[in-house]
Structure 1
Amino acid sequence: MDLGEGRFARASVELKMLPDTRRIRAYLRWSDGGKSPARYLGQVENMTRAANLAEGWKMAWAKGLLTEEPPVEGSWASSPSVRAVMRGNRSKDTRPELRLRSLLHKQGLRYRVAARPLPGLRRTADLIFSRPKVAVFVDGCFWHGCPEHLRQSRKNADFWRSKIEGNQTRDAETDRLLREAGWTVVRVWEHEDPDAAAARVISAVRGSSTTRHEAGQAGSSVARQS
């Protein structure tokens, strides 16, 4: 919300239930100079907390209490919504990645984090399993163009389309180069079910390990026969 004189503050909607009437009131609260003022928005009567919070936000917008934060100087983002998406897509230690790592670790798998599968190639995988040669990439829906969840920006549409298509081209090239070098590539979308994603990675790791072990045994047998 706009505090005036070029100052902005992030606001939140707070719900309070009156003990006598059991009615629920919504308030807008923000931080300003160490204080936490609040503004009464109105009464809400929905069945769930989420619905009441959503109604509170609508009231705040309707009363003109909120405003979009101006773009940061030098930022590529053309709007606060795009900037929020960009901030949410960190390149390392994202929530989906941490969840996947936890599940794999519980299954006894050990891996390297944020490492290059091929030393001479400037491409970093989120997880690599060196012995079975499996590289795992956890792709953010925005930056990698998820077909299910990508929401095209209305502003600077050509720029963002080109940016995301460039990332997709780079992903495809990375997959090709790694496979040519004998690696198995597993790509996981950030929206995927963590257990299902972990199962795919485990299958790839253990399958690759089994295949390499059998290939090694076959090679030893041929050597002995010759």
Structure 2
Amino acid sequence: MPDKFSKETRSKIMRSIKSKTKMEDRVCKALWNKGLRFRRNIKDLPGKPDIAWKKYKAAVFLDSCYWHVCDIHGHIPQSNVEYWSKKLSRNKERDQVNTAHYLSSGWKVLRVWEHQIKEDFDGTIDLIIDFYEQAKGAQNRTEIESSSVTKSGVH
């Protein structure tokens, strides 16, 4: 099925997609209110982590179920299937490459799905705080172990 928007309209829609979504703003505000200080969407880091602590080599990605193709909620739009299939699979592949890059560079990575934030906001905030505390205390380790990590996991 062809795209229902003209090329110009589709281009305008795609240009309007930015970093710092409402979901990210809500999470960051909650973390800030709990006293955590961090940097957002650092352009010189691969994949521009949503939250990062360079000093502790720790990065958090808040992944949209749609754009990052969550196994539960991710889907390919019915219009322009070939384009979206390629686009979204490239996004997923890029996430894997970026995570591997961070891990091989001694960073800690936490990826959290949008649905996890929606289903358990307070639990997600606690998970990120635990991740930060462990990264802060484990500067010399490349992996963090946590029994409270959900499917997205700490890498």
Shorter-chain TM-score bucket reads: 0.7 to 0.9
Provide, for residues 162-201 of structure 1, a one-character-per-residue CA deviation record: whole Å limited to 9, x for no partner: 1111111100000000111111111122222322222221
- Cα distance change, pair 76–90 in 1 and its aligned pair in 2 (3 A): closer
Match of 1:134 in 2: 58
Shift of 1:72: 4.2
1:160 correspondence with 2:87: no
Q: Structure 2 length as normaliser, TM-score?
A: 0.74
Shift of 1:123: 3.0
Match of 1:148 among 58, 68, 72: 72
Structure 1 unaligned segments of length 5 or more: list them: 1-69, 78-82, 215-226
CA distance in 2, matches of 1:90, 1:189: 18
Match of 1:94 among 21, 31, 49: 21
Q: Structure 1 length as normaliser, TM-score?
A: 0.52
CA distance in 2, matches of 1:125, 1:213: 21
CA distance in 2, matches of 1:136, 1:213: 18
1:179 correspondence with 2:113: no
Shift of 1:148: 1.7
Q: Note if contact 2:46-2:98 (Cα within 8 Å) is conserved in structure 1.
A: no
SS in 1 for 2:126: helix
1:108 correspondence with 2:35: yes
1:201 correspondence with 2:128: yes
Q: Which has the larger radius of gyration?
A: 1
Structure number having the greater strand percentage: 1
Match of 1:71 in 2: 5
Structure 2 unaligned segments of length 5 or more: list them: 142-155
CA distance in 2, matches of 1:169, 1:111: 26
SS in 1 for 2:139: helix
Shift of 1:126: 1.1
Shift of 1:158: 2.2
- Cα distance change, pair 90–200 in 1 and its aligned pair in 2 (3 A): farther
Provide, for residues 133-172 of structure 1, a one-character-per-residue CA deviation record: whole Å limited to 9, x for no partner: 1111111222111122223222222221111111111000
